Amino acid sequence: MLTVPDAQGHFGPYGGRYVPEVLMSPLEELEKAYLALKTDAAFQAELSDLLKNYAGRPTPLYFAKRLSEKLGGGKIYFKREDLLHTGAHKINNALGQALLARKMGKKRIIAETGAGQHGVASATACALLGLQCRVYMGEEDMRRQSPNVFRMRLCGAEVVGVTNGSRTLKDAISEAMRDWVTNVESTYYLLGSALGAHPYPLMVRDFHRCIGDEARAQLLEREGRLPDMALACVGGGSNAIGLFHAFINDPGVKLIGVEAGGKGKKTGEHAARFSGGAPGVLHGAYSYLLQDEDGQVALTHSISAGLDYALIGPEHAHLHDIGRAEYVDCDDATALEAAVELSTMEGLIPAMESSHAVAEAIRRAPATSKDQILLVNLSGRGDKDINIYRENLKELDSDSHQPAF
Amino acid sequence: MILTRISQRFNELRAKNEPALIAYVTAGDPLPEMTVDIVNALIRGGADVIELGVPFSDPIADGPVIMRASERALAAGMTVEKVLGVAQQLRATTDVPIVLFTYLNPVMRYGFDKLAARAKQAGIDGFLLTDLSVEEAESFVAAVKAQDLDTVFLVAPTSTDRRLELVAKYCSGFVYVVSRTGVTGEQAQVSAGVKPLVEKLRRFTDLPLGVGFGIANADQAAEVGSVADGVVVGSAFVRAIETTPAAEVLDRIERMARDLKQGAVRGRG
């Protein structure tokens, strides 16, 4: 059905390569190196070994019995990417790209991070492979995700605070790109989401395809059938594209991406690109972009740093336009409620990002029948968000709190 | 095909054996109503081509000096429409070529055909979009060409021969040679790679070559002027605008432009 991207990295009209000329040849080199290793048995074997014995793949597929029964609809299954080393799916891509960087002879790695999960995954992969690592992170995100800042430093990485603009993911990517433009000969840019110029969206998707491939096989084994819907949160969209890809040619599987509704779309403080944005170019790719009338990139807001970004990954734009995937948004308050629900019903504390997908599953489940299956990517665990949860759930954080039993 | 104002200017300078001084400023910095005076001061000082920067919220190819200028201009309410107005005002009194220098997204948002038509009307002569690769440029170049305007592309030290050939094919007006890998900003020395890159590029194109990124003083302008057809100076002017008391800005940048132009000419010996 779909052979995207094309040779120039286009997903329909989206994606492509919109970068300063300095980066064009390096991107061509990167593409060549990646495509060679994609079919290189030794490289794939090394990556598989690390994913299995270092990161913890395959991750389990967990049937959330209590939550499903309470909601009274279909069976909710969670793909447990939260159990991976470093706490989120990000390690799949970080290991893949760090190995690629080493094969390309690059000794210095730079990365950007929003929630800090990609930064931690990059710092971890670099420690493992003996590579120098510098991570750019917006100062606002450093504050929101301080435990992750320390984890990166503990793994030997340098964390550079970015004070430009909104001091979040967008500005961290801009700063990483400036570093890359300057040090392109020696440096590998380990981009953490399905964003940026070709071949990044393709490469990041490929490194996360294991999520959907495993979940598909696991469900077929457990239930003898495919899910009715697959849900994932979408910032840049790496965990979502990793999950979706295995089901793209299964028309019976609804693909649902959940964007950050922030404080509500009426406030303008959100990251819902499909309903609030228009096609545009940011950081090397053409896709749906939150922008003002004059083409300036709009400031975004989400309680989750990982979803707080103005552009959606280009393959999602394509899946949206051809109607293969549906995109909705979930506001901060609803995501918080879902996190509490999942924690108390199943003992799973989700990352703030993943809570958005959980919320959409909770919203949809009651309208499904008992024999239907909802597959949710639990892309990360909530340890890094404990401070955010405490700040926003003060009634739980006191001695007079009423326990569930 | 008609001779564009940019080509004409380079032809005149070539006849005089003079390199062009190509001066960049961010339109709207520090205030939209000051840009016309600032550009006129540059022209009085000897600027041969003006690059008028349209500020963008996420200028990934720019260093801190131009980044701050973009922030100031946006905070002061600069828009694409207002930049067109500035150009139109300038065109009423000068025939110096004006190139709009910006990123793709504001241009895309305005609409390629609409902007090219409005630019023509306002007396703008060409465009340079730092994040528009040749590969993605087909429809933009067509829209600009339809108005008989130029699209300037960049080449960089990392550009392979294949890419130099590709840029030469789509570029018109002049080719902007990026002197070193990196973002915009003044440097202590001109990169040793400039001369070989310029010489290599001449094998692929007869277009004039303007060298920029990092040139800040007359000696550097002389060094570049000895090998290239144009010397581009941006951050040095923008920093002067940022750091000079308002009453002295116009004199200061006029003097800077004169000094840089003389330096560039001196480079020809």
Range of the domain at B262: 5-266
How many domains, chain B? 1
**Can you list the positions of beta strands (E) in chain B?**
20-26, 49-53, 98-102, 126-129, 150-151, 154-155, 175-178, 209-212, 230-233
CA atoms within 13 A on the CB side of A67: 27
Say yes or no: ipTM exceeds 0.85.
Answer: yes
Q: What is the pLDDT of residue A2?
A: 54
Spatial separation of the C-alpha atoms in residues A39 and A30, rounded to whole Å: 15
User: Which residues, given as ranges, of chain B have pLDDT below 70?
Assistant: 1
Which of these ranges, A58-67, A100-109, A215-224, B185-194, has the smallest mean pLDDT? B185-194
Q: What is the pLDDT of residue A402?
A: 80
- Of the candidates A25, A184, A295, the beta carbon closest to that of B160 is on A25
B167 to chain A: which residues are within 8 Å by CB? Answer: 21
Helix (H) or strand (E) holding B200: helix B194-202
Q: What is the pLDDT of residue A3?
A: 65
What's the token pair of residue B201? 């590029």
B158 to chain A: which residues are within 8 Å by CB? Answer: 21-26, 184-185
Quick check: A1 pLDDT over 50?
Answer: no
Q: For residue B160, give the CATH number of its domain.
A: 3.20.20.70
CA atoms within 13 A on the CB side of B3: 7
Q: What is the pLDDT of residue A392?
A: 93
Task: Provide the whole-model pTM.
Answer: 0.96
CB A330 within 8 A of CB A260: yes
What's the token pair of residue A178? 């400036």
Mean pLDDT across chain A: 96
Region for residue B177 given its phi and psi (left: phi exceeds 0; alpha: psi -120 to 50; beta: otherwise): beta
Cβ contact (<8 Å) for A181 and B80?
no
- Of the candidates B104, B108, B158, the beta carbon closest to that of A22 is on B158
pLDDT digits (tens, 9 = 90+) for A273-319: 999 999 999 999 999 999 999 999 999 999 998 999 999 999 999 99
Cβ contact (<8 Å) for B136 and A16?
yes
Determine the average pLDDT of the residues in A52-61. 98
A174 to chain B: which residues are within 8 Å by CB? Answer: 58-60
Quick check: A108 pLDDT over 80?
Answer: yes
What's the token pair of residue B164? 């130099």
User: Is B62 an active-site residue?
Assistant: yes
